[in-house]
A and B are shown apart, each in its own frame.
Chain A
Amino acid sequence: MLTIKNLHASVEDKEILKGINLEVKAGEVHAIMGPNGAGKSTLSSVIAGNENFEVTEGEIILEGEDLADLAPEERAHKGIFMSFQYPVEIPGVSVTNFIKTAINESRKAKGLEDMPANEMLKLIKEKSELLEIDRKFLSRSLNEGFSGGEKKRNEIFQMAMLDPKVAILDETDSGLDIDALRIVANGVNKLKNENNAVIVITHYQRLLDYIVPDFVHVLHDGKIVKTGGKELALELEEKGYDWVK
């Protein structure tokens, strides 16, 4: 589904990713772990198309199509979703209106009409119930005054609404207490199926107790230095990152 080949990326002439190779198939969950500064967040930003990073070498291929020349919104329309570590506050625009705009822009890009209002409402109702989101929450301004848990839950709600092919969860566990973590992880598990894939980017192992990965990759200094099954995460937790250097 998603293939990354020899990916090199820089920011302001400083090389951060130094040759990443990754193959993610439909139905799989991949975890990318690593210490601070290893390039984890850069990897997710580069896949999502953040223009602050320059890809100097390599390819990112989604279902056979090279994403290199596509803007972030075009990648989103193709099915890339990234849950942000720090979601942005947009006062005056409700969660509902924001997601409506996002969905209809995506439909527009595919040559479809706006989603009919009743269909939209039905979808919102279905997904908010799935994620145990209160309806009052949906009329609040996007991320404004949200707690850490509410912000992350809102990210997963948007993921549910947009139904991506590849979802990248960038440090979704940061700033969450254990209850919030469980709710967010349950949401992801409910959305996961045979036709999509999830990439979990995390510093700590604890999120992986709830979202169980098929593969764990260790990122160090811009390269994947070790790959294994879910037990690798536990081993890392025990031995620390120095062990894989």
Chain B
Amino acid sequence: MDLKEKLLSSFLAFEQKVDIESDLHDVRNEALKVFENKGFPTKQEEAWKYTSLNAVLATDYNILPKNETDVDWKDVKKYFLNDVDTYKVVFINGVFSSHLSSTTHDGLDVCLMSSALTKPKYKMVIDTYFNQIANKEDSLTNLNTAYAFEGAYINIPKSTVVSKPIEILYFTTGDSSNFVQPRNLVIVGENAHVQIIERHQALTDTAMFTNSVTEIFASKRAIVDYYKLQNDVQTANLVDNTYIDQKQESRVSVHTFSFGGNITRNNLNFYHKGERIDSTLKGVTIIGDKQHVDHYTLVHHAQPNCESHQNYKGIYDDRSTGVFNGKIYVDKIAQKTDAFQQNNNILLTDKATLNTKPQLEIFADDVKCSHGCTIGQLDESAMFYMQQRGIPKKEAKALLMYAFTDEVLSSVTIPDLQLKLQKLISMKLGVNIGFEI
């Protein structure tokens, strides 16, 4: 039985644990039908031209999460921020881990999707937001909706500045392969401010597949800083579908740091629902071996006077492959749009490949849209400068690559995360820079 059939037939077993009389279940049923019709994306589709899931779909995955597996804090401590207190929503093989988590209902909700989807007190919020911005055509998003059950539920009331970052961690572990489908919902009220870090991490070298969907709603003047840290093991695969709905004057930034995993696909979608919105999409990709990272971004400028800033940096070693596809739509009504997109890449070997494609569709006539992409080697004059100061070629190269990522790294607003990323990047690049002074 192939994976698609298995997913369709396992749905009956999934229905045993959910309320099939609920409105939500109608949504699930409909979503499953879309997936049944469309199946998994293939390279024949324009949007998946450079990323093939075929090889990783051949694995026989567990579809339904088993009971809670125990993981010791000391074994996973390093995947969390070090020195700052955070809210934590942690899952192991798709099941909530109460002992690793630190949730709250005190003035804000940082808790579980499974509660939000089933408890009556959340029904109004779920009816208003759940599956509202997610793409109804996308087959993997629909597959996730069909099985939507667990994930992080975050609701920040208006004018609340959340004092500490929220960490969402999805661990997979064990000797059998898991197909996990987290579903996150983030609602940020007017003038509220929140910082969120999301990470998917396999703890064993078993093939894993994560098909994740996150919906983020930013109300008027809300500020959301969202960080995705992808440094997974070689056998882990991730398709991340993130949908962001922005109201007027809101500011949302998503930084994606892709340093590992086998196949990583990031579908990042911004939709503007008001004026004077600011959207930031930034990323650093540093991969090697046969790793593959695909950034597929969309910014839909649907209202006047909004800005979007995209800046993706990539460093590709060995036989690794990268994709950047940046779509910008500017509707006719969206005058005075300021949309900026940049994608710079360094290929370290002849065998590394990158496909980069800006895709701008502009229907308004008074806009500022710019895009640029480069694929290159390192600046020779900069190399000579550093060598002249006594820094050998290899180290000079690493230092230059480190500098190349700085534009993205420097806009990370959580100091402890920035430090962690600095260390991760310098480790990846083999740079030995003392940060203590």
Contacts and interface: CB of A to CB of B under 8 A. Distances in A.
B363 interface: no
B124 interface: no
A94 B432 CA distance: 13
Interface in B353-395: 379-382, 384-393, 395
A76 B389 contact: yes
A120 to B, nearest CB: 8
B430 to A, nearest CB: 13
A68 interface: no
Contacts of A121: 437
Given A72-B388, A76-B387, A87-B385, A96 B437 contact: yes
B389 A158 contact: yes
Interface in A33-77: 48-52, 71-73, 75-77
Interface stretch (A100-108, A179-187, A188-196): A100-108
Given A71-B393, A97-B437, A88 B387 contact: no
B62 to A, nearest CB: 42
B382 A105 contact: no
Contact of A92 (B380, B390, B405, B432): B405
Contacts of B435: 97
Contact of A48 (B388, B406, B434): B388
B128 interface: no
A4 interface: no
Contacts of A72: 384, 387-388
B437 A100 contact: yes
A87 B384 CA distance: 10
A84 interface: yes
Contact of B403 (A84, A92, A117): A92
Contacts of A97: 433-435, 437
B390 A76 contact: yes
B402 interface: yes
A10 interface: no
Interface in B378-437: 379-382, 384-393, 395-396, 399-400, 402-403, 405-407, 409-410, 432-437
B283 to A, nearest CB: 16
Contacts of B405: 92
Given A82-B388, A101-B395, A105-B395, 16 more contacts: A49-B387, A50-B384, A51-B384, A73-B388, A73-B396, A76-B388, A88-B381, A88-B385, A90-B382, A92-B403, A97-B434, A97-B437, A98-B389, A102-B389, A141-B406, A162-B389
Interface in A100-143: 100-103, 105-106, 109, 117, 120-121, 141
Chain A, interface size: which category? 35 or more
A199 to B, nearest CB: 14
Contact of A109 (B390, B409, B410): B390
A80 B386 CA distance: 13
B388, B402, B435, most chain A CB atoms within 10 A: B388
Nearest to A86: B381
A31 B195 CA distance: 58
A93 B437 contact: no
A91 interface: yes
Interface of B: 379-382, 384-393, 395-396, 399-400, 402-403, 405-407, 409-410, 432-437
A73 B396 CA distance: 10
A109 B384 CA distance: 18
Contact of A102 (B379, B391, B406, B410): B391
A4 B437 CA distance: 41
A91 B388 contact: no
A162 B390 contact: yes
A88 B382 contact: yes
Contacts of A82: 388
Given A73-B393, A92-B409, A93-B403, A101 B433 contact: yes
Nearest to B382: A88
Given A90-B399, A92-B406, A73 B390 contact: yes
A91 B422 CA distance: 13
Which 9 A-B residue pairings sit nearest by Cβ, starting from the closest?
A: A92-B406, A72-B387, A76-B390, A91-B406, A88-B385, A102-B389, A106-B390, A88-B382, A73-B387
Nearest to A120: B437
Given A73-B391, A73-B393, A92 B436 contact: no
Given A50-B384, A84-B385, A101-B433, A77 B390 contact: yes
B66 to A, nearest CB: 44
Nearest to B384: A50
Nearest to B402: A92
Nearest to B389: A102
Contacts of B382: 88, 90
